[in-house]
Amino acid sequence: MIDIKFLRENPDAVKENIRKKFQDKKLPLVDEVIELDKEYRANKTDADNLRALRNKVSKQIGALMAQGKRDEAEEAKRTVAEQARTLAECEAKEEELSAKIKQIMMTIPNIIDPSVPIGKDDSENVEVQKYGEPTVPDFEIPYHTDIMESFRGIDLDSARRVAGNGFYYLMGDIARLHSSVISYARDFMINRGFTYVVPPFMIRSDVASGVMSFAEMDAMMYKIEGEDLYLIGTSEHSMIGKFIDQMVPEEQLPITLTSYSPCFRKEKGAHGIEERGVYRIHQFEKQEMIVVCKPEDSKSWFDKLWQNTVDLFRSLDIPVRTLECCSGDLADLKVKSVDVEAWSPRQKKYFEVGSCSNLGDAQARRLGIRVKGKDGKYLAHTLNNTVVAPPRMLIAFLENNLNADGSVNIPEALRPYMGGTERLVP
């Protein structure tokens, strides 16, 4: 959510930003919120004047009573009563206008970074750099669930009977591999100076609406029936929510956290062969990284975060590339975003395994995350990035470490987490 003062003073810049995101239907909202803001401020001025007058007259009543001027005092009381009714009407209108303004402001997209490429959708995202040599072996690589089934490592049929489509049982070596990757990612980030956290897996609606747009909430989140609680779609939600309405001392910044959680997502509209198996599922686990920092430091932290993911995947012998998200592919709160994509030898292309985002002060503005600095108070900047999210990451791992005989190599970095195992054999 952008600053209402910025919108008021720079309406053309806000409209141009909306055009860059190809959301022209939102253009009228800028003028609408400016008019509502003007009405709100005029109404607030009237209310403030009435409060000042009420306080003045209330003091006069006491003085008149002390002087024995009862009739004048009673007249002053009637005046205060009439003003109270008018003030109540102003306050009700003030609350109504404030709610309308907030609702509109939460749908106007954040100002994107000037470096973001302009494009309508993810088909116009821009490759930044490749890391590692993508190769295609001279033997056929099976579909990822077939690889897992060769180790008796996955049971989708039982999961469908228990929970429906989009769920799975992982078993044996594959389940152990899944847990090992999560543990390795945890320690990888701890070794880079991040504090490990296990957060709540449910959040209230005020936190949910503070960390994402209403459209994202509807598309992603599961609501707990009868309670003001949502299952998290990623630990970023509860991790950023940790700082709601907090005043953070500047000397504590940057705050660097890495969090583990299960994640729950509706995944509306998933379809196609690459959406089967464990590509798009309703439940998975993830290691995340979160940074709360000074505004002037967020750009440098952004580059450090996506580099962490690249380094982790390369340590497991998986080729990756970074992809700059274009304007039309950015969620409304994001200033800038880079996807990390892993190489799939079976598909002969890259696919997304992580997403790094700079939210600027958008989440902080919504949640009231402020910093107390030596020169005053200001809004923090927040960033997040996926460290690793199996089982999708397992697809890249299995395909890139598969041998012709169906065995899977375990990279040296992961062997301590697999009991020293160097190779999985079907």
Query: Which of the pair, 105 or 80, is modelled with greater confidence?
Result: 105
138 band by pLDDT with thresholds 50, 70 and 90? very high
Exposure on the CB side of residue 158, measured as CA atoms within 13 A: 7
Q: Cβ atoms within 10 A of the Cβ of 241, count?
A: 21
Domains identified in the chain and CATH numbers: 4-105 (1.10.287.40), 122-424 (3.30.930.10)
Dist. CA 351–CA 341, nearest whole Å: 5
Query: How far from chain centre, in Å, is Cα 59?
Result: 51
DSSP-assigned letter for residue 402: B
User: Residue 334: which of 302, 309, 308 has the closest Cα?
Assistant: 302
Give the pair of three-digit tokens for residue 125. 């995202």
- CA proximity to 28, closest of 100, 118, 104, 99: 104
- The band of 272, judged by pLDDT with boundaries at 50, 70 and 90, is very low
Q: Whole-angstrom Cα distance, residue 330 to residue 292? A: 20
Q: Give per-residue pLDDT as tens, 188-212.
A: 999 999 999 999 999 999 999 999 8
pLDDT surpasses 80 at 343: yes
- At residue 273, does pLDDT exceed 60? no
Number of H helices, E strands in the chain: 13, 18
Cα–Cα distances in angstroms (integers) from residue 358 to residues 21, 108, 172, 223, 325, in the given order: 16, 17, 38, 26, 12
The yes-or-no verdict on residue 44 having pLDDT over 70 is yes
Query: Whole-model pTM?
Result: 0.89
> What is the distance between the alpha carbons of residues 113 and 334, in angstroms, rounded to a whole number?
9
**Residue 85: per-residue pLDDT:** 79
